[in-house]
Amino acid sequence: MTASTERRIEDVNVIVSGQGGDGSLTVSTILADLLRQRGLNVYTERDVLSRIKGGVAVAGLRASRDVRFGRGDHVELVVSFDLEGIEKMVTQLAPDAVVVYDDSDVPMPAGLLPANVRLFAAPFARLAVRKLGRILYKNSIAVALATRSLGIADDDVRHGFEQRFNRLGPAILGQNLQALDLGFELAEEMGLSAGHDTVEQDGRPEGQLQITGNQAAALGFIAGGGRFFAGYPITPATEILESLEGWLPDFGGVVWQAEDELASVNMAIGAALAGVRAMTSTSGPGIALMQEGIGHAGSAEIPLVVVDCQRGGPSTGLPTKPEQSDLNMMAFGGNGDFPRIVLNPGDPGDCFELTVEALNLAERFQCPVYLALDQALSQNLATIAPFDLDAVTVDRGKRLSAEQLASMSEYRRYAFSDDGVSAYSVAGTPGGMSLVTGNERDEFGRVSTSPENRARMVEKRAQKIESARADLPRGRRTGDPGATLGLIGVGSAYGVLLEAMEELEAGGVSTRLLQPRTVFPVLDETLEFITSCERVYVVEHNATGQLAGIIAQGGGDTKRMRKVLRYDGLPLRPGDIAREIIERESL
Amino acid sequence: MTASTERRIEDVNVIVSGQGGDGSLTVSTILADLLRQRGLNVYTERDVLSRIKGGVAVAGLRASRDVRFGRGDHVELVVSFDLEGIEKMVTQLAPDAVVVYDDSDVPMPAGLLPANVRLFAAPFARLAVRKLGRILYKNSIAVALATRSLGIADDDVRHGFEQRFNRLGPAILGQNLQALDLGFELAEEMGLSAGHDTVEQDGRPEGQLQITGNQAAALGFIAGGGRFFAGYPITPATEILESLEGWLPDFGGVVWQAEDELASVNMAIGAALAGVRAMTSTSGPGIALMQEGIGHAGSAEIPLVVVDCQRGGPSTGLPTKPEQSDLNMMAFGGNGDFPRIVLNPGDPGDCFELTVEALNLAERFQCPVYLALDQALSQNLATIAPFDLDAVTVDRGKRLSAEQLASMSEYRRYAFSDDGVSAYSVAGTPGGMSLVTGNERDEFGRVSTSPENRARMVEKRAQKIESARADLPRGRRTGDPGATLGLIGVGSAYGVLLEAMEELEAGGVSTRLLQPRTVFPVLDETLEFITSCERVYVVEHNATGQLAGIIAQGGGDTKRMRKVLRYDGLPLRPGDIAREIIERESL
Amino acid sequence: MTETFPLAEPIWCAGCGHFSVLSALDAAFDRLDVPRHEAMVLAGIGCSGTIQNHVTAYGYHALHGRVLPAAAGAKLANPSLTVIAAGGDGDGLAIGGGHLLHAFRTNPGITYIMMNNGTYGLTKGQASPSSQLGFHGATEGRAADPIMLGLSLPGTTFLARGYSGDAAQLATLTDAAIRHSQAGKGFAFLDVISPCVAYNDRYHNWRARLCDLDTVDGYDPRDRTAAFSLAAALEAEGKKPTGLVYEGEGLALEAALGAAPADANIDPAANMPAVRELMDSFRG
Amino acid sequence: MTETFPLAEPIWCAGCGHFSVLSALDAAFDRLDVPRHEAMVLAGIGCSGTIQNHVTAYGYHALHGRVLPAAAGAKLANPSLTVIAAGGDGDGLAIGGGHLLHAFRTNPGITYIMMNNGTYGLTKGQASPSSQLGFHGATEGRAADPIMLGLSLPGTTFLARGYSGDAAQLATLTDAAIRHSQAGKGFAFLDVISPCVAYNDRYHNWRARLCDLDTVDGYDPRDRTAAFSLAAALEAEGKKPTGLVYEGEGLALEAALGAAPADANIDPAANMPAVRELMDSFRG
Ligand SMILES: Cc1ncc(C[n+]2csc(CCOP(=O)(O)OP(=O)(O)O)c2C)c(N)n1
Ligand SMILES: Cc1ncc(C[n+]2csc(CCOP(=O)(O)OP(=O)(O)O)c2C)c(N)n1
Ligand code: SF4
Ligand code: SF4
Ligand SMILES: [Mg+2]
Ligand SMILES: [Mg+2]
């Protein structure tokens, strides 16, 4: 992209950087709205420190004709209110990028920006104070330069301001419009004149959703019949708790902020015993605390859905940064052997669908089901097709009604069966009184140490996972079916890999992709995908290749697997991945 | 063995079974003492329900010329005060076994015992009440029949009684001696006459220890300089807490029973920050609760030793039964990627040594070190050579003194270094003030999200494990070095495998054994052992083959590995293992 | 009638205080006409934690220390259940102490019976947070009294103490506690002095140390400050009040939340219109 | 002198109450002549949990809710340290509530400063257990008061409350708390009303709701029952006492245990004779 408005915008990455809490991030929201109105798909990324005020806060925004689930490799436009933001970005700038910079405090150092980058610097903050009496208006001045550089018609921007600021009263709207005009004047002076509007108009079908993975999972929970949610605030999972607080009561459900994660997981277990579909969500530290409770649900055969919005670890780690480093804990954590399922959505649509599916699987197989998100998938806002609500089903598995119970001569809560699944009744159902325990037990739920019973119970629980296999969500595949090079990735890696594949293709490397939506147990389709390729790059956001390790334990051919890892707290980027693979392939 | 006293006893397995709390288990203690005095190595096994009174309690006792770490395959003598105990044992009876049975309540059903088994049944309880006025004396009556059948001289038994009951006063001693004589009379009547004493006298070197794995680990903790211990009661780990409560204060140390496992692990972390070698111990449920704390120690680089006395899982599971099913949690649990070491002793001597080693490794590499025991290893009493106290060393790693600090111009708690290990100073040391945190941090310990720093810190922590490899405890090997068939096992499997190898050899199958003492990280020696064999049977006490899985993830050749699993709550038995392997080898 | 799980004989030691708690609870269900399928008995881990095996009801054996969150979750999910949580002093005061505090604070409509023997029975006699100072075991510190704790939280609505040695009083208090929760008033806490004859046998000792509040002239269980003063004064003499110590006004948590998830219709046909509306709010 | 870690500027919002706590603490070390290398500042997770970054001392950032066990572990390991634990109300009352109860009960000689703003600042304004009823957020229930909690446990030895808006009083109380712990009397708890200007800005509101105990005629901080009564009465009016609420007699845990592990000689040469004796007791 250049600052000229002669070209149609197909794909633009914008970065807005300022001091946290100074309002500069609304610049990116305004630009996102305008670009969305022009028919582009918008994806926004947050990069905030785990602190409240002060410190650099960066918002990333991508507007593209194609649906994208990630930022691109290059930044075409930077709007920055501090130098640090530009310094951080300088290596990512597109060759012909535009930089809009507030030099009120620090002038742009000579030589910082590459030669072809066009700089539009002015003291926005000082102008805002001097001319409009309030520093806040610096943001609206900057918007003008940004929209000019993007080729959005001035009137469209004015119209957008009216929509946005109307509810704040005419005074504030007026001031912001003045600031905008000040900005247009500045632009004019700098040779950034108003062009005709050339932004795509036909990129995006009507009615697309603009939604994060967390919001989609919360919506999926409600759609799938979830009616009890307990959680404890933690980044980047809090939005699930907060969204459901707003929504679930209208559906007759209860949301509870518990005193800690031990309470929230055990409250969900209690609710499940009373027959209500229950879920909790947290991030790595909370999942670590929940390990005993999750294993208990696996032992005692209690349906439970647990969302892990993964973030940079270990320990408190990098609370606001993406990572996929709890996969091992989900697949192998907890004491003893117990059945569990780990589902891995790749985009918000998947988050919705797999949450519904998790609720069904949890009740059908009476075991814990993890939903593994990651910070980028949880918190970034993507444009996506509306969810297929007609496809939502609710399957409560072998749940016994009072009538069924009345017709049975005997009811054994943990009865042995071919598929390992026993019929269950929930508290309140006449005739279904039963014992549930995390100790080893006989069919009636009475604590038992009999070796014969023990062995059968262990096998029964393991059998459930075998029985579930046929129904576990299948992965998504794309790419050249004849390619000998495979790619595997989950969570936010999915969208990034889609784009990396294009770059690989452009670089002459043809690939195909599997996004396993069930990571544990490892499905045959994953093993077969690997053996059908000569080499498979498993792309993950962690330092040790946890996904590759899980697949290896599940029988994946390690000779064909290669690890592509990132663990510096930055989101995965398609260019980096493509570059690494091309390099390794050409060795 | 037969009831005749013509043979020398080389290896005898005794089972005593009664109602929990009725004192019948002292019979096995008395027999153990007598057999030990005869120069045999004694191994005792407990099998109690997780309940206090009532219910069948079974004690197993093995006395053998060779050192054994497990019960044998057959039971030569059963002393039982209830029928249930015999019913449970009947399939394990040696062809010529002796059964001493109290038929006060239930006569022995015809046909229950195999043909060649010799039964000595009498109403001990009724006799005790009638003749001695107290039911308790039934135990001493039974002892007489048992010692006669074992060929222990009557006078030796009397002498043993004097030693044991003296401190309870002459009245009680007298009554017990009377009961004993009553028993000898009964034996005489039944044709079980006193023979000459033929029990081994020369089997065991002088001064052997009679000790459990838990006691040995507690002793190792003290020898290795551990001076802070926090724990919370849980079977089968409680004896570590209770032993240290008795011992550690004499060494200037502190033992604390915390309010829960979250507290105990974090207290140990606090003590470590103050420079004291610290440990906690628990079992699976407690380890699950400690996952966040252990990962924190891994992240923040805090030395910490955690003992997991594994028991039957999942969840509360089988609290009093052996299992090795937390290996996955130790190797892969917790959020994020962090360095950790898992050591696996195979007998009480190993428990001592590896606890010392764990303390050194924890401080040298500033990370959590797990010691993985299992119920059988933790609680069963074995005869074993005294520990080599002269070999104990204390290595505090890169710990800085005030003098060293004073000579440094700058101290960075998390300084980068080639081996990934930074020098550390502990609270109280002048000049070493520093920041310790579980967030990602820079070299000074200041929270940092810089991608460059992050990547280096992740690599630094991983590097520690690479640096540690050379010093991690090597496994023990035994068997025919030329054998193409390998065996791998840890914990209580070690001793059982030693015996299984003899049986395999007898069955014409030559094997060699590796007991890896470091399970995680997987050492090269383990991988090499596997590739040096044609097939390797990995023998574990869990349902999924966790050890084999860990080795597979660590690069073990899965094509050569075979799993031998037990998960019914009973201890591993050499005969079962040998039989299974012979069967699978002859397919 | 469907046969449900066969009731087993308790495995407690003869003379264990827990027998009395069991009798009082089982009989209370009859006295209060609680349909057994609407009753849930959740227990912790410990000797006490087996009580649910001996009562015809929905029984659940929670994790050690987590019986309160599980019970609250069940009650919020289905407020029409009569939810009884029970467990030991180790379970409820040591590892579960934090949850107890929050149960007082947030007042879910469950009855919680602490089977308090001042020791960890099941793990063979270690000290618990309610052990007397000097009791063998590692824990130092002066005994915590869960009723004093309850008094310190303004959300508390029901506090009573019974004694295994006084079956009549225990029956009355068990009924009163269950009625409190059933009536939508919230969390009913019943501390029962339930001696462990194996590891902390204090039957001989307790009777003289208990002060029945019915015998205290003018005692008003609605007066939180007076309750605290009396309990503190007794504590200084090594004694404890029994009977209804405190009953305050309050709205149960499930009522405050308007909870009734078990009644919700989760059929997709019924739900999707509203879900669609919610989804549509995300259209750009 | 070795250069130690460079002190950073706090990242708190301008006007955050936590600044006052930091100043009071840092200055107390000077006023009390605490050698900085003998001071340990342990903090929880939260906005409050960054205080240690701004004090020259051994600083430790504990897990969320676990600052008290870590601090107690450090003190038992080396009783000569001056150990300060600090953290938020979410950290100390919600997830860490159980540990607080046990710290009161067992009385380790540490000072604990609760930086109490009635909300979860760092995670952006959810309700905490000390939030007023009706504060937005999911948590219902009446606000827990950690000082009332402390009064309910007979092991408690020091309870005080300060306010970020009153620097002089806060300094006095911080000194007194640290002195209490240093003197071997045990656990000193200092609740500081430290408003969160971003999510629960109540500066305007607090001053009128605080009652300085120095202004209460005849108030005796040695009288636990009276302290409870006054606090409960104030609570009923929506007010809280500030100042020294309670100071009782007690022996610090580390003293009761005779702890001094950091002084122990763990050299094998020095140790092995006694270890050998112990081992020999296992010879058959
Ligand atoms: C997480 C966890 N830690 C420890 C244990 C071991 N444990 C079982 S019961 C118990 C304490 C029992 O004491 P209490 O609750 O007072 O019950 P009582 O046996 O006295 O009735 C403990 C520590 C466990 N099951 N789970
Ligand atoms: C186990 C765990 N759960 C949740 C979190 C997320 N978290 C970080 S700080 C915080 C609460 C902070 O509130 P408070 O302790 O009151 O401190 P403040 O920010 O108000 O000073 C939470 C829930 C976490 N870090 N770890
Ligand atoms: S050990 Fe104590 S608490 Fe347990 S059953 Fe026996 S008397 Fe009761
Ligand atoms: S968010 Fe609140 S607690 Fe956090 S720094 Fe800002 S004012 Fe202080
Ligand atoms: Mg108890
Ligand atoms: Mg707070």
User: What pLDDT, on the 0 to 100 scale, is given for residue A48?
Assistant: 60
The reply to whether D197 falls in a domain is: yes
Contact C61, C87 (CB under 8 A): no
C52-71: average pLDDT = 98
pLDDT band of residue A422 (cuts 50, 70, 90) is: very high
For ligand 2, the distance from its centroid to the CA atom of residue B319, given in whole angstroms, is: 34
Does B232 sit within 8 Å of C138, measured CB to CB? no
Asked if B246 is an interface residue toward chain C (Cβ–Cβ < 8 A), one would say no
pLDDT band of residue D8 (cuts 50, 70, 90) is: confident
Least confident range from A369-373, B73-77, B518-522, D129-133: namely D129-133
Task: Assign residue B71 a region (left: φ > 0; alpha: ψ between -120 and 50; beta: otherwise).
Answer: beta
Summarised one tens digit per residue, pLDDT across range D74-96 is: 999 999 999 999 999 999 999 99
pLDDT of A5 above 50: no
The reply to whether D272 falls in a domain is: no
Contact B98, B84 (CB under 8 A): no
Contact A323, A283 (CB under 8 A): no
pLDDT of C136 above 90: no
Query: Which ranges constitute the DSSP H helices of B121-169?
Result: 124-127, 138-150, 154-165
| CATH number given to B11-190 | 3.40.920.10
User: What pLDDT, on the 0 to 100 scale, is given for residue B256?
Assistant: 96
DSSP tag of B438: S
- Chain C interface, best mutation among A437, A440, A446, by max C CB count within 10 A: A437
Residues D95-124 as b or e (16 or more Cβ within 10 Å = b): bbbbbbbbbbbbbbbbbbbbbbbbbbbbbe
CB D11 near ligand 2, within 6 Å: no
Summarised one tens digit per residue, pLDDT across range B368-415 is: 999 999 999 999 999 999 999 999 999 999 999 999 999 999 999 999
The reply to whether D266 falls in a domain is: no
CA gap C50, D72 in Å, rounded: 34
pLDDT band of residue B54 (cuts 50, 70, 90) is: low
Nearest chain C Cα distance for residue D23, angstroms: 31
The burial class, CB within 10 Å (0-12 / 13-18 / 19+), for A116 is: exposed
CA gap C198, C125 in Å, rounded: 8
Q: Which residues of chain B have a CB within 8 Å of the CB of D55?
A: none
Summarised one tens digit per residue, pLDDT across range C29-54 is: 999 999 999 999 999 999 999 999 99
Asked if C75 is an interface residue toward chain D (Cβ–Cβ < 8 A), one would say no
User: What pLDDT, on the 0 to 100 scale, is given for residue A4?
Assistant: 40
Task: Assign residue D29 a region (left: φ > 0; alpha: ψ between -120 and 50; beta: otherwise).
Answer: alpha
User: What pLDDT, on the 0 to 100 scale, is given for residue B25?
Assistant: 79
Asked if A240 is an interface residue toward chain D (Cβ–Cβ < 8 A), one would say no
Contact C271, A251 (CB under 8 A): yes
For ligand 5, the distance from its centroid to the CA atom of residue B29, given in whole angstroms, is: 29
Contact D22, D168 (CB under 8 A): no
CB C13 near ligand 3, within 6 Å: yes
pLDDT band of residue A10 (cuts 50, 70, 90) is: confident
Q: How far is CA B170 from CA B154, B163, B164, B210, B365, in A?
A: 20, 12, 11, 28, 58
Q: Three-state DSSP class for D30? A: helix
Using CB atoms, list chains with 3+ pairs below 8 Å to chain C. Answer: A, B, D
Asked if B446 is an interface residue toward chain C (Cβ–Cβ < 8 A), one would say no
> Nearest-CA neighbor of D66 among B257, C131, A285?
A285
Does B285 sit within 8 Å of C94, measured CB to CB? no
pLDDT of C94 above 80: yes
Mean pLDDT, chain A, rounded, equals 93
pLDDT of B470 above 70: yes
Least confident range from A8-17, C68-77, D238-247: namely A8-17
> Nearest-CA neighbor of A221 among A345, A46, A53, A320?
A345
Mean pLDDT, chain D, rounded, equals 94
Does A435 sit within 8 Å of C76, measured CB to CB? no
Residue nearest to atom 1 of ligand 4 (CA): D121
CA gap A20, A58 in Å, rounded: 8
B412, two tokens: 């960075």
pLDDT of A21 above 80: no
Interface of B with D in 426-445 (CB under 8 A): 427-439, 444-445
B8, two tokens: 């020398």
The reply to whether D177 falls in a domain is: yes
Q: Three-state DSSP class for A455? A: helix
Residues in chain B: 587
Q: Which atom of ligand 3 is nearest to the CA of C117?
A: 3
User: What pLDDT, on the 0 to 100 scale, is given for residue A535?
Assistant: 98
The reply to whether C270 falls in a domain is: no
3-class secondary structure for B516-537? Answer: CCEEECCCHHHHHHHHCCCEEE
Strand partners, D196: D200
pLDDT of A581 above 60: yes
Ligand 6 (ion): which residues have CB within 5 A?
D 88-90, 117
Least confident range from A193-207, A470-484, B469-483: namely A193-207
CB pairs under 8 A between B and D: 230
CA gap C222, A460 in Å, rounded: 53
User: What pLDDT, on the 0 to 100 scale, is given for residue C185?
Assistant: 97
DSSP tag of B72: -
Q: Which atom of ligand 2 is nearest to the CA of A285?
A: 1
> Nearest-CA neighbor of A15 among A574, A579, A571?
A571
Q: What is the secondary structure of A129-175 as a DSSP string?
A: IIIIS-GGGHHHHHHHHHHHHHT--HHHHHHHHHHHHGGG-HHHHHH
Task: Assign residue A536 a region (left: φ > 0; alpha: ψ between -120 and 50; beta: otherwise).
Answer: beta
Q: Three-state DSSP class for A363? A: helix
Interface of C with D in 113-142 (CB under 8 A): 129, 139-142
User: What pLDDT, on the 0 to 100 scale, is given for residue C138?
Assistant: 42
The reply to whether C281 falls in a domain is: no
Contact D110, D83 (CB under 8 A): yes
CA gap A492, B21 in Å, rounded: 59
| CATH number given to B476-585 | 3.40.50.920
The ranges assigned to domains in chain B are 11-190, 210-391, 402-470, 476-585
Q: How far is CA A20 from CA A57, A571, C73, D10, D163, in A?
A: 5, 20, 38, 14, 28
Block residue for tokens 């919230």: C186
Does B300 sit within 8 Å of A569, measured CB to CB? no
For ligand 3, the distance from its centroid to the CA atom of residue C89, given in whole angstroms, is: 13
Residues B181-199 as b or e (16 or more Cβ within 10 Å = b): ebbbebbeebebebbebbb
Asked if D158 is an interface residue toward chain A (Cβ–Cβ < 8 A), one would say no
CA gap B157, B174 in Å, rounded: 14
CA gap C4, A452 in Å, rounded: 23
User: What pLDDT, on the 0 to 100 scale, is given for residue B4?
Assistant: 40
User: What pLDDT, on the 0 to 100 scale, is given for residue A131?
Assistant: 92
CA atoms within 13 A on the CB side of A372: 28
Does B336 sit within 8 Å of A313, measured CB to CB? yes
Domain count, chain C: 1
The reply to whether C220 falls in a domain is: yes
Q: Which residues of chain D have a CB within 8 Å of the CB of A234?
A: 123
- Chain B interface, best mutation among D26, D55, D60, by max B CB count within 10 A: D60
CA gap A386, A384 in Å, rounded: 6
Residue nearest to atom 5 of ligand 3 (CA): C12
Angle between helix axes B213-223 and D268-280 (nearest 10 degrees) is 160
Closest residue to A335, CB basis, from B49, B325, B338: B325
Does B444 sit within 8 Å of D5, measured CB to CB? yes
Does D65 sit within 8 Å of A238, measured CB to CB? no
User: What pLDDT, on the 0 to 100 scale, is given for residue A2?
Assistant: 38
Asked if D8 is an interface residue toward chain B (Cβ–Cβ < 8 A), one would say yes
The burial class, CB within 10 Å (0-12 / 13-18 / 19+), for A167 is: exposed
Percent of chain A at pLDDT exceeding 70: 95
pLDDT band of residue B587 (cuts 50, 70, 90) is: confident
CA gap B531, C200 in Å, rounded: 58
Closest residue to D235, CB basis, from C154, C229, C233: C154
User: What pLDDT, on the 0 to 100 scale, is given for residue B201?
Assistant: 58
For ligand 6, the distance from its centroid to the CA atom of residue D64, given in whole angstroms, is: 12
Q: Which residues of chain D have a CB within 8 Å of the CB of B252?
A: 260-261, 263-265
For ligand 6, the distance from its centroid to the CA atom of residue A46, given in whole angstroms, is: 24
Q: Three-state DSSP class for B278? A: strand
Nearest chain C Cα distance for residue D189, angstroms: 16
pLDDT of B51 above 60: no
Asked if B320 is an interface residue toward chain C (Cβ–Cβ < 8 A), one would say no
B199-217: average pLDDT = 81
pLDDT band of residue B1 (cuts 50, 70, 90) is: very low
Q: Is the dihedral of CA C245, C249, C255, C257 positive or negative?
A: negative
> Nearest-CA neighbor of C88 among C53, C60, C123?
C123
For the beta sheet containing D188-193, the strands, ordered from the edge strand earlier in sequence to the opposite edge, are B435-437, D58-61, D39-43, D82-88, D111-116, D188-193, D158-163, D240-247, D210-212
Q: Which atom of ligand 1 is nearest to the CA of B316?
A: 25
Summarised one tens digit per residue, pLDDT across range B353-372 is: 999 999 999 999 999 999 99
Question: Strands (DSSP E) along A375-417, which ranges?
Answer: 381-384
C259-263: average pLDDT = 95
CA gap B374, C31 in Å, rounded: 48
pLDDT of D138 above 50: no
User: What pLDDT, on the 0 to 100 scale, is given for residue B72?
Assistant: 87
The burial class, CB within 10 Å (0-12 / 13-18 / 19+), for A587 is: exposed
Fold exhibited by the domain B210-391: Rossmann fold (3.40.50)
CA gap B479, B491 in Å, rounded: 18
Percent of chain D at pLDDT exceeding 70: 96
Least confident range from A21-25, A389-393, D108-112: namely A21-25
H-run or E-run covering B228: strand B228-231
Asked if B117 is an interface residue toward chain A (Cβ–Cβ < 8 A), one would say no
User: What pLDDT, on the 0 to 100 scale, is given for residue B341?
Assistant: 98
For the beta sheet containing A278-282, the strands, ordered from the edge strand earlier in sequence to the opposite edge, are A254-257, A228-231, A278-282, A304-310, A368-374, A341-343, A518-520
Q: How far is CA A404 from CA A432, B163, C1, in A?
A: 10, 66, 11
User: What pLDDT, on the 0 to 100 scale, is given for residue A202?
Assistant: 60
Say what the ipTM of the complex is.
0.96
pLDDT band of residue B125 (cuts 50, 70, 90) is: very high
Least confident range from A7-11, B403-407, C102-106: namely A7-11
Nearest chain B Cα distance for residue D198, angstroms: 22
For ligand 5, the distance from its centroid to the CA atom of residue C88, given in whole angstroms, is: 4
DSSP tag of B441: B
Interface of C with B in 57-76 (CB under 8 A): 61, 63-65
pLDDT band of residue A46 (cuts 50, 70, 90) is: confident
The CATH number linked to C149 is: 3.40.50.970
In terms of CA atoms, which chain B residue is nearest residue A262? B289
Summarised one tens digit per residue, pLDDT across range B285-308 is: 999 999 999 999 999 999 999 999
Q: Which residues of chain A have a CB within 8 Å of the CB of B462?
A: 543-544
Residues contacting residue A498 through CB under 8 Å, at least 6 positions apart = A69, A478, A513
Domain that includes residue C194, residue range: 18-258
The reply to whether D270 falls in a domain is: no
Domains B11-190 and B476-585 share a fold: no
Q: How far is CA D198 from CA A241, D15, D16, D17, in A?
A: 20, 9, 8, 11
CA gap B561, D266 in Å, rounded: 43
Q: Which residues of chain A have a CB within 8 Å of the CB of C41?
A: none
pLDDT of A199 above 70: no
Least confident range from A447-451, B120-124, C270-274, D5-9: namely D5-9
Q: What is the secondary structure of A543-560 as a DSSP string?
A: SS-HHHHHHHHTT--GGG
Least confident range from B275-284, C129-138, D55-64: namely C129-138
Q: Which residues of chain A have a CB within 8 Å of the CB of C82?
A: none
Residues A351-374 as b or e (16 or more Cβ within 10 Å = b): bbbbbbbbbbbbbbbbbbbbbbbb
Does D58 sit within 8 Å of B270, measured CB to CB? no
pLDDT band of residue C140 (cuts 50, 70, 90) is: low
- Give the range with max mean pLDDT: A136-140, B13-17, B355-359, D204-208: B355-359
